[in-house]
Amino acid sequence: MTSLIDRLFGKSKTSANHAKERLHLVLIHDRTDLTPEDLQSLKNRLIAVISEFVEINAEDTEIQIEVEGREQTLIANIPLKSPRTRRS
Amino acid sequence: MNGTVITITSGKGGVGKTTATANLGIALASLGQKVVCIDADIGLRNLDVVMGLENRIVYDLVDAVEGRCRLSQAMIRDKRHPSLFLIPAAQSRDKTAIAPSDMVFLCNELRSEVDWIIIDSPAGIERGFRNAIAPANEVLVVTNPEVSAVRDADRIIGLIEAEEKGTAKLVINRLNPEKVKKGDMLSASDVVELLAIPLIGIVPEDEAVLVSINHGYPVVLNERSEAGKAFMNIGRRLLGEEVPWMELDSRKGLFNRIGKLFSGGN
């Protein structure tokens, strides 16, 4: 976790960096009313629904909330299975 | 006159709302404006002692709302600035003594008499906050560079948006540049990035603030105080002036002060 944050900030982690990182996450959840557990179950259901239409790569599917100012966007990155890996 | 109502709020208690209200009131009055500060924290009266006007109270906000006195009788004139007034909170009542519509009515009456109405909101997101926010034309959110204060500020900013009061402006209070430099305190830009609203002032941590509250002599009256200068700058920005951001390098500040001591001060 520490090394991830270090990479994010590109410097060694000070307590202020840690505070900012924690606040960033907590504000997303406060603003959207979505807990990390909610987000995980949203992801699971999304995978299930989309899989009914097209084959997707469930392991690499990512879902996250992006923050731009006070606007928040739900971003889903859902890789489709390539024709080669697709079962016929 | 068509006065502007500014509500000072924060969510979390103890971040400096009352100090900001008193100092902005004095700053605007000393810039030639007619100002009334309202203590909306009913049951927990405080603005009077911070302004040093506690011995002059006869009537209060609830008396004015309930018609036991004329509005002008509840307005206490400041000792130092004849164009500054305080309407104190009632001490023996609670927040339910007043409704948001009462505050709107009261401020509509005051608007024709003064340039600025500054409302000191109670902490929290309950009735007292709703009362304070109802008549606002502009809202200033005060926070400290510290996790719980920033989190509560974010919540309050969301509620202000929901009340369609426009975008609140941010006052970062008690910033300690030395701690920021050491990486032990969120910087002003960290806080602005997280809360994503426009900044109207950064007030450095300054022991002169505590001393000034002890005396009931708001710090903005102390020309040598960095916090006092910062509050004066916010007053100027409220009047539409473009004021450059203060240099907040603590070491430089210290050397400046030492330099002033040797040169006899100025």
Residues in chain A within 8 Å Cβ distance of B199 = none
Q: Does B147 reach chain A within 8 Å, measured CB to CB?
A: yes
Whether the predicted pLDDT of A87 surpasses 70 = no
pLDDT of residue B36: 98
Backbone angles phi, psi at B177, to 5 degrees: -60, -30
3-state secondary structure of A75: strand
Which residues are paired to B217 by β-bridges?
none
Q: Whose structure tokens read 């179950």?
A: A41
Q: What is the pLDDT of residues A17-56, one digit of tens each?
A: 999 999 998 999 899 888 888 989 999 999 999 999 999 9
Please give the torsion angle defined by the CA atoms of residues B143, B149, B151 and B156, in that order, rounded to the nearest 10 degrees: -50
The residues, ordered by sequence, that sit 6+ positions from B37 with a Cβ below 8 Å of its Cβ are B21, B22, B25, B47, B51, B84, B85, B86, B87, B118, B119, B120
> CA of B83 to nearest chain A CA: how many angstroms apart?
38
Q: Does B190 reach chain A within 8 Å, measured CB to CB?
A: yes
Q: Which strands, in side-by-side order, build the sheet including B169-175? A: B76-77, B84-87, B35-39, B116-120, B4-9, B138-143, B169-175, B199-204
pLDDT of residue A13: 86
Q: Which residue has the higher pLDDT, A67 or B176?
A: B176
pLDDT of residue B255: 47
- CA pair distance B96, B102, nearest whole angstrom: 11
pLDDT of residue B141: 98
ipTM: 0.84
Of B158, B194, B196, the CB nearest to A23: B194
Q: Does B254 reach chain A within 8 Å, measured CB to CB?
A: no
pTM of the model as a whole: 0.86
pLDDT of residue B265: 37
Best B125, B141, B143, B150 residue to mutate vs chain A (most A CBs within 10 Å) = B150
DSSP H or E run through B244: none
Structure tokens at A24: 């960033």
pLDDT of residue B263: 45
Please compute the mean of the pLDDT values over residues A59-71 and round it to a whole number: 90
What count of other Cβ atoms lies within 10 Å of the Cβ of residue B174?
21
Task: Spell out the per-residue pLDDT of chain B, length 266, in tens.
Answer: 799 999 999 999 999 999 999 999 999 999 999 999 999 999 999 999 999 999 999 999 999 999 999 999 999 999 899 999 999 999 988 888 999 999 999 999 999 999 999 999 999 999 999 999 999 999 999 999 999 999 999 999 999 999 989 899 999 999 999 999 999 999 999 999 999 999 999 999 999 999 999 999 999 999 999 999 999 999 999 999 999 998 876 555 444 444 445 544 33
pLDDT of residue A7: 52
Whether the predicted pLDDT of A10 surpasses 70 = no
- CA pair distance B21, B220, nearest whole angstrom: 11
* Minimal-distance CA residue of chain B relative to A30: B155
Domain ranges of chain B: 4-262
Q: Has domain B4-262 been given CATH number 3.40.50.300?
A: yes
Instruction: List A residues 16-45 in contact with B (Cβ-Cβ < 8 A).
Output: 16-17, 19-20, 22-24, 26-27, 30-31
3-state helix, strand, coil in chain A (%, to 5): 50, 20, 30
